[in-house]
A and B are shown apart, each in its own frame.
Chain A
Amino acid sequence: MTITDKPVDNGVNTEALLGARNALTEQPAAAEFTWRATCSWVHGTHSTSTVDGFAGLGQEMNHRTTYRFEVDHPECFASQDLGATPVEYVLVGLAGCLTAGVAAVAQHREVQLRSVTATIEGHMNVLGILGADTDVRNGFDGVRVRFDIDADAPRADIEAIVAQSQKRSAVFDIVTNPTDVVVEVA
């Protein structure tokens, strides 16, 4: 147990988040956000997606730069492997969301984090996506996340932080609960 006068700093501005929470409760229309990505096919199974603008707080906004993502399939799928697979992007999304949540919850609970590593695995039987077996689903039949956390707190508190992170995670919700998806042709 270190005794220190240094305030806990995981780099998360929880005061701002709490302020936003209070303000948006009074102005629910401002809490409506739309996130976007644009995907352009390149060749084969390779596409490039960009993330630039999003809407929220009653206005259009932009990231400070355009983010680009190469998406492809690996060579064992007879592809070029010019980018990570779409399902790996989902794992990245989930891990990133949960990790950000761990930092925010730890900040709120005044626990100093030293390091956090999440290893995530999505298990899948590809007979589903190959259409070879209708009893096999296309997506993951299970996802496991393992957190390796070095922090100034007892194990039980760290477990509680990880549990709370899942509770308030957008991607955890998207992956574990049904989500309405509409696909149309212009």
Chain B
Amino acid sequence: MRTTAVVIGAGHSGLAVSRRLTERSIDHVVIERGEVAHSWRTERWDSLRLLTPNWLTNLPGLRYRGAQPDGYMRAAELATHLGEYAGTIDAPVHSRTTVEQVRAGPGGYEVVTDRGRWQCAAVVIASGPCNTAQVPPAAASLPPGVAVRTALDYRSPEGLDDGGVLVVGASATGVQLAEEIHRSGRPVTLAVGEHVRMPRTYRGRDIFWWTDATAVLDERYDELDDVVRARRLPSPQLIGTSDRRSIDINHLAGESITIVGRLGRITGDVAQFSGSLTNTCALADLKMNRLLDRLDAWAQRTDADVDPPERFQPTHVPKSLLEVDLRRSGISTVLFATGFRPDYPWLDLPVLDRRSRIVHDGGVITGAPGCYVVGLNVLRRRRSSYISGAERDSADIARLLHHHLDGASRSTPRTRRPTTRCTQRAGLP
């Protein structure tokens, strides 16, 4: 079968791109292994809510019109929302179709699926950044008898054995799961490595109201000092509750969750933790305060209608345990909230770096003209990491794809040398 473009994945990014391609009358299909919003529907824990408020959940041609603009959508609600969106935009989705291979083909590329092959001139990879859970090598040394879980397979505390739980990772996922599991009566120890501390609200407004209004969210990937680092940052410590409360290490310690440093080695029954916890927390506090300084400066310049400035309690770190005997402490489960990574076993093009990540320049895949990727952290802007980023990123990618098609019809595209750093400043049209 032939089409001009194949979009892989019908999540919010893939659907947004589809809408933009339709706007440009570019013939395309969207291949989806499950149903629309499959990952949101099947690979998230029960209580998950978006980090961003609902008024920021806009997609091309769709403004949030629900009753709670300042609320935080549940994963299932988002999945339903996206299902309706796919219908509204009449996205050409081929559901329950699994991509088996993407390779070079006549006219550009060939996408082989379990329901047939597509020849196309362009491919947009929208399979998302969370295909597999990242688990540190230490996990291999866990003693038998301790259950190992990840944020991908966890659904609720009821699905865990009784007994204590060691949660590894203090990202948004880590702090949320640590809290809900501890509240279920299972004592939690939380291993804290590098993390991003952020208040839910600041001077009366949601933190995302600020990062949106100040255009922090619109900082471009090619303007950042260290885009590689920015892309690897853990998600900020936020939770989406109706009382808009903050969640941070101080809060968790206040609930009697045991705070320890980054997980190091596991030997026999003993897990070791870093002695650098004090510095790790100091760095997170410093980073948060730098952001708040920036927000205050903007508020002053623009005479913004917000409450007076405030600063938050520094993270208080009592002398923390450097090792825990898992068995003696009654820890029966270790839950890894140590991040996710994308996985492209079906991608048969020379576009991956030595860590199996796609090498790209703002979503334009290096070394494969006509191939694009969307839906990754800080793909083109800080906003790209959130649903809100799909609106602008999809417009940019569709425009670049369109230009590529026009150019390809006139001349052979110039091939580019693959690099392992995404720091090229492309002269983007």
Contact = CB atoms under 8 A, between A and B. Distances in A.
A166 B279 CA distance: 7
Contact residues on B (Cβ < 8 Å of other chain), bracket? 10 to 19
B274 A163 contact: no
B279 A175 contact: no
Given A172-B276, A178-B264, A25 B283 contact: no
B189 interface: no
A22 B424 CA distance: 13
A121 interface: no
A142 B276 CA distance: 11
A163 B272 contact: no
Q: Max chain B CB contacts within 10 Å: which of A164, A172, A175, A177?
A: A177
A25 B286 contact: no
Given A25-B420, A26-B420, A178-B265, A164 B275 contact: no
B274 A176 contact: yes
A175 B275 contact: yes
B320 to A, nearest CB: 11
A163 B282 contact: yes
Contacts of A26: 419-420
B275 A176 contact: yes
Interface string B186-207: 0000000000000000000000
A167 to B, nearest CB: 6
A182 to B, nearest CB: 14
A129 interface: no
Contact of A163 (B264, B275, B283, B319): B283
A172 B262 CA distance: 14
Given A25-B421, A26-B420, A178-B265, A166 B286 contact: no
Given A25-B420, A25-B421, A26-B420, A166 B264 contact: no
Q: Max chain B CB contacts within 10 Å: which of A26, A159, A175, A176?
A: A176
Contacts of B419: 26
Nearest to B323: A178
A142 B322 CA distance: 11
A160 interface: yes
Contacts of B276: 166, 172-173, 176-177
A172 B279 CA distance: 10
B192 to A, nearest CB: 13
Contact of B272 (A167, A175, A178): A178
Interface string B29-55: 000000000000000000000000000
Interface of A: 22, 25-26, 28, 142, 156, 159-160, 163-164, 166-167, 172-173, 175-178
28 contacts: A22-B421, A25-B421, A26-B419, A26-B420, A28-B354, A142-B319, A156-B286, A156-B289, A159-B282, A160-B286, A163-B279, A163-B282, A163-B286, A166-B276, A166-B279, A167-B279, A172-B276, A173-B276, A175-B275, A176-B261, A176-B274, A176-B275, A176-B276, A177-B264, A177-B275, A178-B264, A178-B265, A178-B272
3 A-B pairs closest in CB distance: A176-B275, A178-B265, A176-B276
